[in-house]
Amino acid sequence: MNSDRPTDQYLKTLKLYYEEEVEGEAYFAKLSERLQDPDHKEKMHLMALVENYAAAAVEPLLQKYDLTPRCAEELRVSGHAQAQNSSIDWAQLISGMQKTFPGYIGDFERLEAMAPPADLPPLKVLTAHEIAAIDFLEKEANGDPDSGAPFLLWD
Ligand SMILES: [Fe+2]
């Protein structure tokens, strides 16, 4: 028995979370496009970049296990559609994300708990990008002029 062999649940979740980051990048890129305020546009653009970074960190694991994600174009269309249907009221956007994002930390930590140790470095990037996003949201909600600072680590 090979104790390093990950479970199907791990592999399925890994693929799903990768897909969600690709979708998220498209979502934030479209939100950035729809918003009017240049500062808000820039912040959602940064969020899209961080999503891209998170997806890119995890992508080698999909290759390692020969997992085929849903096609990028399909994910992009889906992300754009979600942003098209979203409110672009800034305060609502921020408070909505403040409600949903903390749940992803638990999801990512559960993924880490299922992972073979060798997979942990990229998975920690995934968890860290969510922590940075939550930090940004909190600062933004508090009117901190340096709310974008958590994203600087990802440039
Ligand atoms: Fe994300």
68-93: pLDDT as tens digits: 999 999 999 999 999 999 999 999 99
Is residue 150 a part of any domain in this protein? no
- Listed in sequence order, the residues at least 6 apart from 135 whose beta carbon sits closer than 8 Å to its beta carbon are 150
Is residue 3 a part of any domain in this protein? no
- How far apart CA 152 and CA 155 sit, in angstroms, is 5
Report CA(17)–ligand 1 centroid distance (Å).
8
Return the CATH number at 77: 1.20.1260.10
Is residue 148 a part of any domain in this protein? no
Report CA(3)–ligand 1 centroid distance (Å).
30
Report CA(128)–ligand 1 centroid distance (Å).
10
What is the length of the chain? 155
SS3 content of the chain, % helix, strand, coil (to 5): 80, 0, 20
- How far apart CA 58 and CA 53 sit, in angstroms, is 9
Q: Note the pLDDT tens digit of each residue in 80-131.
A: 999 999 999 999 999 999 999 999 999 999 999 999 999 999 999 999 999 9
Is residue 14 a part of any domain in this protein? yes
Write down the residue that tokens 């096609």 correspond to.
Answer: 71
Range of the domain at 18: 8-143
Average model confidence (pLDDT) across the chain: 94
Is residue 24 a part of any domain in this protein? yes
Judge whether residue 3 has pLDDT over 70: no
Report CA(51)–ligand 1 centroid distance (Å).
5
Taking the whole predicted model, whether its pTM rises above 0.85 is answered as: yes
Is residue 1 a part of any domain in this protein? no
Dihedral of CA atoms 124, 127, 130, 135 in degrees, nearest 10, equals -80
Q: What is the pLDDT of residue 152?
A: 80
Domains held by the chain: number: 1
Report CA(100)–ligand 1 centroid distance (Å).
11
- How far apart CA 118 and CA 100 sit, in angstroms, is 29
- How far apart CA 12 and CA 51 sit, in angstroms, is 19
Inter-axis angle of helices 120-141 and 38-64, to 10 degrees? 170
Report CA(142)–ligand 1 centroid distance (Å).
22
Report CA(8)–ligand 1 centroid distance (Å).
22
Report CA(46)–ligand 1 centroid distance (Å).
12
Q: Identify the band that residue 28 occupies on the pLDDT scale cut at 50, 70 and 90.
A: very high
Judge whether residue 29 has pLDDT over 70: yes
